[in-house]
């Protein structure tokens, strides 16, 4: 699964239209990795380093909501959390999406 693209939009498509994606917080896990962020850090590279795929920068941003969802807003020298391992992080994401849908009575 790590090398495949995970379609995070699948749960939010309706009649070939994508609804606005809500912010889904990734719970902290004992396996998470914390790294220092510099101006030379790119989340596609971080994703590729830890997940073997460059497509999960969005997941890293979901785990770091204090930075507003934009990689370019992460201050130099900040510590960011990489949810790890990938499979567990994606399962947590999927569960949180289900919780969101139940909370807001969304049929997906």
The 10s digit of each residue's pLDDT in 40-98 is 899 999 999 999 999 999 999 999 999 988 899 999 999 999 999 999 999 999 999 99
User: DSSP secondary structure string, 54-105?
Assistant: GGGHHHHHHT-GGGTT-GGGSPTT-EEEE-SSHHHHHHHHHHHHHHHHHHTT
Would you list the domain boundaries of the chain?
Answer: 28-103
Per the DSSP assignment, residues forming a β-bridge with 82 are 33
- Distance CA(60)–CA(86), nearest Å, equals 10
pTM: 0.85
pLDDT > 90? residue 12: no
């Amino acid at each position: 699964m790590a090398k495949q693209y995970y379609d995070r939009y699948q749960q939010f498509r309706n009649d070939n239209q994508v609804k606005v994606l809500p912010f889904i917080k990734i719970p902290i896990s004992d396996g998470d990795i914390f790294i220092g962020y510099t101006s030379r850090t790119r989340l596609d590279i971080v994703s590729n380093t830890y997940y073997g795929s460059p497509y999960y920068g969005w997941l890293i941003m979901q785990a770091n909501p204090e930075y507003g969802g934009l990689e370019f807003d992460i201050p130099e020298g900040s510590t960011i959390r990489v949810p790890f391992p990938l499979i567990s992080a994606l399962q947590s994401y999927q569960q949180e999406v289900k919780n969101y849908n139940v909370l807001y009575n969304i049929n997906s």
